[in-house]
Amino acid sequence: MVLLGTIVNGVCIVIGSLFGKLLHKIPERVKGTVMYAIGLAVIVLGLQMGLKSENFLIVILSLVFGAVIGELMMIEEKLNQLGNWLEKRVGSNGQGNISEGFVTATLIFVIGAMAIIGALDSGIRGDHNVLYTKAIIDGFTALILTTTLGIGVIFSAIPVFLYQGLIAIFATQIDRIIPDSLMNSFIVEMTSTGGIMIVAIGLNIAGITKIRVANLLPGILVVAIIVSVIYFYKNLFS
């Protein structure tokens, strides 16, 4: 079953969020310190990912052009509107801002190489091990995030399912069309670019900044364009 790994990933996020909801009644002082701890851990994770680039100029250009596109499209504002719509339907009951939990968790779970590699393995080889591993990590992360950001984290399972599911479904076509070397280069630079976004998420969680991280997401598409141009240029003139 092509979507098995993706379904397990989504279910683990839901289960983790539900357990986190049970633990949300922790003292505000403890919750504040936990938020700082999560923010610092996310920053370190982002730095590890960000340093994987083989050509950091690609990362810089992708973030710059991605930011311009994202600001013009107002992606963060639209995601927040979706989160606010969910909040009106569900109600946060003082358990955190549903919009903030939804947006933050979605960005953390979607950005990264494991989502793409795992979904491709599921679709091409029927191997779900990468997504099973990601599911466990995401489940525990969802639990921790829910204790501080609230039940909005649970709704991040929807975009995760759609994103990874589409990659898994079209994995065979992707593998047939895109050369391995190009795909590997894209994953490396995408991981690095996503890592910088993860750092920004960590800074936001820690309350140090309020960067509109969702508006940087088009940078992933810009990475694909730049890497493809470089790849075909090298092949044409080599």
**Domain map of the chain by residue range?**
4-233
pLDDT grade for 93, boundaries at 50, 70 and 90 = low
At residue 97, the pLDDT reads 66
At residue 135, the pLDDT reads 92
Question: pTM to 2 decimals?
Answer: 0.80
Per residue in 48-60, pLDDT (tens digit) is 888 888 899 999 9
Cβ contacts of residue 106 below 8 Å, gap of 6+? 79, 156, 159, 160
